[in-house]
Amino acid sequence: MADRSLRVLDTYGRTQLSLDLWKLTRCMFGEFIEAKCGRYKFQGESSFAPDLWMSPVVAEVFTGLILVDDRDQELWLSGCLSGYGGLGHEGTRQILEAEGFSTGHLDVAHNYGQFHIRKDLDEPLHVAERRQ
């Protein structure tokens, strides 16, 4: 993984905290062009870790939504998930919709527990764990 100039992590696993963090830090990012949701191995530290919002060092495995902007900076949101009807899915849908992802992309996020999508591609790069 290339060094990123900014990586913001939320490790609390609460949807509302993830939504608040996205709103709070949105101005720090360019256009989000890529989103992936699932379980990811992580090594490193957060670039930004205010009290009560994020831990500066996270566990080896992260589960949640990762947004990547046009400068290759990342926002990791553990309270936003996919593939089921809970609050985590609703947070993911709300963010993807606000960031201009297509209806097709929103359907992927609703129907799969793991996905990797890009705004410039109609088809997902990866999907797994289809919702029953």
pLDDT of residue 36: 92
DSSP annotation of 44 reads S
In sequence order, what E strands does 25-97 have? 32-41, 61-69, 74-77
**In the predicted model, is pLDDT for residue 66 greater than 80?**
yes
Tell me what the mean pLDDT of segment 6-21 comes to. 81
Structure tokens at 7: 């990586």
Who has greater pLDDT, 50 or 117? 117
Which tens digit of pLDDT belongs to each residue from 73-83? 989 898 898 88
